[in-house]
Amino acid sequence: KNQVEQSPQSLIILEGKNCTLQCNYTVSPFSNLRWYKQDTGRGPVSLTIMTFSENTKSNGRYTATLDADTKQSSLHITASQLSDSASYICVVTGTSYGKLTFGQGTILTVHP
């Protein structure tokens, strides 16, 4: 069964600190992996999308990494801001035109 597991479930950090969120998946074959940011009560917004040939992609203070061999991805947030408080969702697609498999999300809270 295709699954996407994220850790930790929740994380609290102080403003200005860095953090790393993890995503492990069993989806096979693999086509692409996306990270979304979802503010409370809002729809998800795409941060990055990576295919199997990419192992790093950045979007401002967000850097995603992908290891297709170990089926792991991480999202690193640098110099966190209060506005980074949100749920971060890892999404994996199994084939070029396959359905998306969503992780349950990591809830990040940034305190001043």
Partner 1 sequence: DGGITQSPKYLFRKEGQNVTLSCEQNLNHDAMYWYRQDPGQGLRLIYYSQIVNDFQKGDIAEGYSVSREKKESFPLTVTSAQKNPTAFYLCASSIVFFGLYEQYFGPGTRLTVT
Binding region for partner 1 (CB under 8 A): 4, 9, 31-32, 34, 41-46, 49, 51, 89, 93, 96-105
Question: Which lies closer to partner 1 via its Cβ, residue 21 or residue 80?
Answer: 21
Separation between Cα atoms, residue 48 and residue 56, nearest integer Å: 10
Task: Provide, rounded to whole angstroms, the least separation between the CB of residue 70 and partner 1.
Answer: 21
Give the type of residue at 2. Answer: N
Separation between Cα atoms, residue 73 and residue 46, nearest integer Å: 15
Give the type of residue at 51. Answer: T
Whole-Å CA distances, 6 to 3, 15, 16, 99, 112 = 10, 22, 23, 19, 25
Question: Which lies closer to partner 1 via its Cβ, residue 65 or residue 101?
Answer: 101
Task: Provide, rounded to whole angstroms, the least separation between the CB of residue 42 and partner 1.
Answer: 6
Question: Which lies closer to partner 1 via its Cβ, residue 4 or residue 108?
Answer: 4
Q: Which residues does 53 contact at the CB level (< 8 Å), separation at least 6?
A: none
Task: Provide, rounded to whole angstroms, the least separation between the CB of residue 54 and partner 1.
Answer: 12
Question: Which lies closer to partner 1 via its Cβ, residue 14 or residue 100?
Answer: 100
